[in-house]
Amino acid sequence: ERLLAIGDTARTALTEMRRLLGVLREDAGAEPTRRPQPGLQQLLDLVDEARASGAGAARLIVRGDVAALDPGLELAAYRIAQEALTNVRRHAPGAAVDVEIDYAPDALRLTVRDNGPGPGGHGPGGHDPAGHGLLGMRERAAAAGGGLRTGPGPAGGFVVEATLPLEAP
């Protein structure tokens, strides 16, 4: 299981590295495919994909005054949400999920909560508290100067909460 997690993390890193190299590489005669790194503007697409993948209901909730943020911070928030939604599909198939973004004055708060079986639940693949993707999410939050809390939700299910400060530490 740990090797699978390492493999998943390595594939994600390689994909991001290929994108970066694609931007830096100038191929003669070839038209490079360039796309900006995803950010908070693409969260709705991510939630739509989760909904289309056969999951339960999926909602995006936005609070506070929406503002353009540092692209690195937006990428970290996007990737954390992406991994959390992937974990819901893997460990709580069919669970409803809410992705909430709160633009607070001092930080961006991202919460992903589902109504699945929660950690160690007996449903199909309840969330694994050792979590393969949890370490990557925690590292992304720390790299942005923030923190990540994960665990059972107050009414069941599983919750991922990231707090990413707006100012660099």
| 50 shares its domain with 14 | no
Residue whose tokens read 């830096």: 24
Q: Are residues 27 and 58 part of one domain?
A: no
- What pLDDT is attached to residue 125? 43
Kindly state whether residues 92 and 136 are assigned to the same domain: yes
Q: Do residues 22 and 90 share a domain?
A: no
Q: What is the value of pTM for the model shown?
A: 0.74
Residues 125 and 85 in one domain: yes
The whole-number average pLDDT for the span 87-101 is: 91
Structural domain total, the chain: 2
Q: Are residues 17 and 50 in the same domain?
A: no
Please give the residue range of the domain that contains residue 100: 38-165
Does position 27 have pLDDT exceeding 90, yes or no?
Answer: no
pLDDT above 90: residue 77 = yes
The residue that leads in pLDDT, 169 or 76, is: 76
How far are the Cα atoms of 18, 83, 151, 162 from residue 165, in angstroms, in the given order? 28, 20, 21, 10
Question: What integer is the mean pLDDT of 127-155?
Answer: 83
Claim to verify: residue 125 and residue 149 sit in the same structural domain? yes
Q: What is the pLDDT of residue 124?
A: 45
79 and 10, same structural domain? no
- Chain position carrying tokens 């909730």: 61
